[in-house]
A and B are shown apart, each in its own frame.
Chain A
Amino acid sequence: MKKKYIGAGTALIVTASIMAGCGGNSSPQASSPAASQAPASSSASESASTGSDKPFAGQTVTLVTANHPWSEAITPLLPEFEAATGIKVKVENYFEDQLTQKLTVQFTAGSETPDVFMYRPLQDGQLFFKNGWVAPLDDYAHKDPEYDFADISPSAINTTTIDGKLAGIPIITERGVLYYRKDLLEQANIPVPTTMDELVEAAKKLHNPGSEMYGFVARGQRSPLVTQLASYIFSEGGDFITDGKASINTPEAVKAMTTYGNLLKDSGPPGVLNMSWPQAFGIFAQGKVAFLTDADSLYTNATDPEKSTVSDKVGFALFPAGAAGSKPVNVTAWSLSINERSKNKDAAWELIQWATSKENVLKAQQKGNPGARTSVWNNPEATKSFPEELVPIIKQSMENGVGHDRPVVVSVGEARDAVGEVVMKVITGDKDVQAAADKANANLQAIIDKDSKR
C-alpha cells in the first residue's frame, strides 16, 4: 500500500520535472545559447558528459548565500547551471549577521571554501578586501564580451570597487524611498510629501495613538537604523565622513539626526527602540502606520498580500527633499565574490557569470530583486512585477542617489554603533543633541584613525 504511493509520487515528480523542462524549451525568451542547451543536456546527463564546452565538469563549487529573496530566486535555477557546465554547486544559506561572522572566521582560518560567496560590500567590503580574502575580478569580468560588463550600472560597480580593484559583482541594489498609505492620505486630504518638512507635518497629522494609528515608522535599533538615517543626512547636505574626517556633528548631520529621531519619537508607534526592518515593515503591513522610510528592495514586505493587510494601498514616493534636495542612498546591498584561496576560481567565475548574466538578472528581477544591469532596468519585462509607480522612482533615485549608506571604514559595526547613539539620545528625549553628536563624532574619528594605521 505504502509502496504504491511512493511509486505514484515519484512518477508525479518525474512527470512534473519533464513538463517544466519542456516549458522552458518552448518559451520564446530562451534563445540564448546557455538556456537552449540546458534542457537538452539535462536529458543527456545520464550518459557520459563529454565535450570541450564543459571544461569544468566534475568540479564542485561551494556557494554561500544570505537568507535573501535573491537566493530564493537563483537557487531553484542552479540545476540548469549544473547541467550546462557539469559543475556541482553546493549551497549554504545563512541569516545576514551570521553570514559575516561565518565568512570572517572561515577566511581568517585560511579556508579554501566557500568558493563563491554573497556579501555586503559596504558592511564587509573593506575588511574582506584589505585582508586579501577577496579575489579581484577585473580580469574575469572583461573576458567574455557576451557577459557585457559595461551593462552593469557604474554606480553599483563603484560601491564594490576598492582601491581601484573590482571586489565583487553587484547583485542587489537598493535605494531609500518613502512608503506611504494612499488611502489614509486621501482620506485626510494630504498631498504626498515631497520635502522633509511636509513629511514631518503629515506624519504628525496622521498620528493618532488613541486609535492605534501611527504617523511614521522606520528602524529604531541603534545599529540597523544607520543605513536608513543616511538618506536623511545626505538630503540635508551632510555625510558621515567628509574628506577623511568624521562629520556627524556638523549642523547638517545634527539636523538630520534630530529629524529622524523626532519623527520616531513624536509620530512613531510604541517600541521603536527595538525595531529593525522586519518589525518596521511588520507594523506597516499591519496597517497601523501611514509613512515608512526604508530600502526599496524590501517592498514585497509591504505589497505582498500574504505578508501585508494593506498590500493594495501602498504608495511610493521619492525620498523627501531636505536642504540639499532629495539625496537618498543608492547602493549595492549585496554582491558576489570569489574567495582568494579558492582552488576552483575559474569554475567559481563560471557560476558568478551565469548568475549575473543578463538572462538570470532578468529572472531574479522579475521575482522582485532590483539588480544592477541597465539593460534589464530598461526592459519592461523586468519591472512587470514591480509596483508601477515604484519604477520611475527607482530610476530617478539611481540618478541623484549617493553611493554609500554607512561610514565606509573597516570597523563598520563599531562605527554604526557610534553614529546610532545620537539618534538614541534624540528618541529618548535628550535635549542636548549637539553634545551627543560631538561625542559620537570623536568616537567615529577614533575609528577612522585606527583604520589608517592598519
Chain B
Amino acid sequence: MGYNWINRNLKWLYILPALVFVLVMMLFPIAYTLWISFYEWSMSAITPPAFVGFDNYISMFKDERFLDSVFNTFYFTIVALAAEMVLGLAIAVLFNRTFKGKNIAKTLFLLPMVATPVAMGLVWMLIYEPTIGAANTILKSIGLEPQLYLASMTQVIPSLIVVDVWQWTPMVALILMAGLSTLPTDPYESADVDGASAWQKFVHITLPLLKPTIIIALMLRLIDVLKTFDIIYATTQGGPNFKSETLNIYGYVLGFQYFKLGSASALLVIFFLIVMALTLALIWTKKRLEAEG
C-alpha cells in the first residue's frame, strides 16, 4: 500500500503543510473569535463565559466610543490612502526617468519603509512635542504659530496621517515603479509622432495602462492602513480623550485593558467584515476594469 498510496495522493500531501497552517493559524482563530463574540467573558477564573447571543453586537452599536472609533478609522484610512496613492504615483513617475544620482535618491527614499514603526512612532512623538519638539521649533523659526499636534483633539489624526504617509508612500511608489517598468514603449512612440503633450501621455496612456497595478497597491495599503496599530499605540494610545482611537486600538483596549473578551471579539468580527467587504469591492472593481480594458 505505502508507496502506491503516497503516489496516488501526492498532490494532497504537497499541500498538506499549507493546509494545516491555514486551518490552525487562520481559520481557527477567526472561528474562535466568532464563538467568543457571543459570550460575556472577562478573563475571570471564577465566572465562566456566559452565552449572551447577539448582546455584544447590539451594545456595540449603542456604544458611542465604538461609533467614534469607526469614524476615526475611516477618516484616517481615506485621507492617508489618498495622500499615499497620489504622492506614490508622482514619485514613481519621477524615478521612472533617468537622472544623475537616481539610485542613491531611490535608496534614501525607501528608508522610512524599512524602519520599525514603533521606534518611528517614538521619534515622531519627539518631533511633535509642542514645547521642545522639532516641528514647532521649525514653525517658530519661520514665524508661524506653534501647533499642538498629537495633544490636540482635532490635529491628532492629521498628525498621525503624516507619519503614516511618510512611512508608507515609499511602498506605494515601489509597487508603481515596478508597474511602470513593464509598460510597453510603442504607445508612447506613436503618441510622440502624433504630437501629444507630456500631460496627455500621462493621463491617456500611463494611467490606463497602470490601473491594475494601482489597484493592487491600493488594496495592499487599504488593508494595512485600516489595521494600523503600532504608530497610534506608540504615540497617543488612542488619546487625547479617545480622539485617535481606531477600531483596532479600541479592540485592544477592550480585550487587554478592560478584559472584556466578548465585546472585543464582537468588535473584531465587525472589523473583519468591514475589511472583507472593502477588499471584495476593490477586487470587483479591478475585474470590471480589466474586462473593460
A101 within 8 A of B: yes
SS class, residues of chain A in contact with chain B: loop
Chain B min CB distance to A367 (Å): 26
| Contact call B241/A222, Cβ cutoff below 8 A | yes
Residues of B within 8 A of A413 (CB): 253, 257-259
B174 within 8 A of A: no
Question: CB within 8 A of A104: which of B46, B130, B156, B259?
Answer: B259
Chain A min CB distance to B49 (Å): 12
| Contact call A286/B46, Cβ cutoff below 8 A | no
Chain A min CB distance to B118 (Å): 11
Closest to A131 in B: B45
Complex Cα spacing A287 to B218, Å: 47
Chain A min CB distance to B32 (Å): 14
Complex Cα spacing A454 to B47, Å: 6
| Contact call A271/B151, Cβ cutoff below 8 A | yes
Chain B min CB distance to A165 (Å): 15
Complex Cα spacing A273 to B235, Å: 12
Which residues of chain A from 410 to 440 have a CB within 8 Å of any chain B CB? Answer: 410-411, 413-414, 421, 424, 428
Question: CB within 8 A of A283: which of B46, B131, B150?
Answer: B131
| Contact call B259/A411, Cβ cutoff below 8 A | yes
| Contact call A286/B131, Cβ cutoff below 8 A | yes
Given known pairs A271-B131, A273-B240, A283-B131, the reply for A108 and B151 (CB within 8 Å) is: no
| Contact call B131/A288, Cβ cutoff below 8 A | yes
Which residues of chain A from 381 to 430 have a CB within 8 Å of any chain B CB? Answer: 410-411, 413-414, 421, 424, 428
Chain B 131-165 near chain A by CB (<8 Å), digits 1 or 0? 11000000000000010111111001000000000
| Contact call B129/A271, Cβ cutoff below 8 A | yes
| Contact call B241/A273, Cβ cutoff below 8 A | yes
Residues of A within 8 A of B236 (CB): 274
Residues of A within 8 A of B131 (CB): 212, 269-271, 283, 286, 288
Residues of A within 8 A of B241 (CB): 222, 273, 421, 424, 428
Residues of A within 8 A of B240 (CB): 220-222, 273-274, 424
Residues of A within 8 A of B149 (CB): 271
Closest to A108 in B: B43
Closest to A217 in B: B131
Residues of B within 8 A of A283 (CB): 131-132
Apart from the given pairs A274-B240, A411-B258, 15 other A-B contacts in the complex at a CB distance below 8 Å: A108-B43, A108-B45, A131-B46, A133-B45, A220-B240, A222-B239, A222-B240, A270-B146, A273-B239, A274-B239, A279-B129, A283-B131, A428-B153, A428-B241, A454-B46
- Which 6 residue pairs spanning A and B have beta carbons closest together? A271-B151, A273-B240, A271-B130, A274-B151, A413-B257, A270-B130
Q: Give A contacts to B, CB under 8 Å.
A: 101, 104, 108, 127, 130-133, 212, 220-222, 269-275, 279, 283, 286, 288, 410-411, 413-414, 421, 424, 428, 453-454
